[in-house]
Amino acid sequence: FYALNSLHIGTLSFDILLVTLSLMYVTSYHGDFLSVDSLLRIDPHFTTIFCVSMVNILMTALTCMMVCLFALERLMFAKRLAVVLSLAYGLATMAWAQSEDFMSEPATTLFLLCAVYFITDVSALKKNRNTILAGSFLGLALLVRLAALIAIPALVVYIIHTWMSSPRKPKDLVLSLARFGVPLFLFIGIIFVYTHIRFDNIFESGYDSDFRADILLGLYGLLFSPGKSFFLYNPPAIIGLLGIGC
């Protein structure tokens, strides 16, 4: 419904998005206050479990909306194609299965896509604000999943590339990087505080530091294994590969 509604309003009020995300977590952890248990007539013990199980469903729906907006406003696709891509993501990829648990993938995907959406806005009037929002959403992605660090170099390179592609002063590049970096480092600071409280070491992530893995075996598992094959559980990706040569 968000995706279809965006076809009429052209752009989304991200105030609504942020309020929606806040309400999702309020509902998840304060179900008794909202009388969810009495409404659903279930044991109060299961109220939080039920509400939390709904969070990733909403996250996935919001990600479908962002896919639609990205296709419309960044790739300039037709409305019908944008809706098809949005539905394909929600119904024909791992997103459907991942929406049924409380793992971090749906939230990470949503926040990363929002960061890319804002950083790729070509509007000069909104560039400063959108750069700040891009850094903020990337910071949120880091809070959810530390592996999102891998996206930082790509977005920084994009900022530098857009600066080099336009006749702007070096000062403009510094300001753009600052707008992107300040909110990002604020979130990294929150992560450091959390890890210090939890592990008494800001550089401890909770992952096994002695972890060693066979990269080729890992790639096979992620791309081709029957348990978690990227192509097996994301059929649109196969269509995308076929379209590369077209």
195-233 pLDDT, tens digit per residue, is: 888 888 888 777 666 666 678 888 888 888 887 888 888
Among all chains, which residue has been given the structure tokens 């939230």?
107
Supply 154's token pair: 């790509």
pLDDT in the model for residue 97: 86
Residues of the chain under the 70 pLDDT cut: 1-50, 207-213, 245-246
pLDDT in the model for residue 77: 93
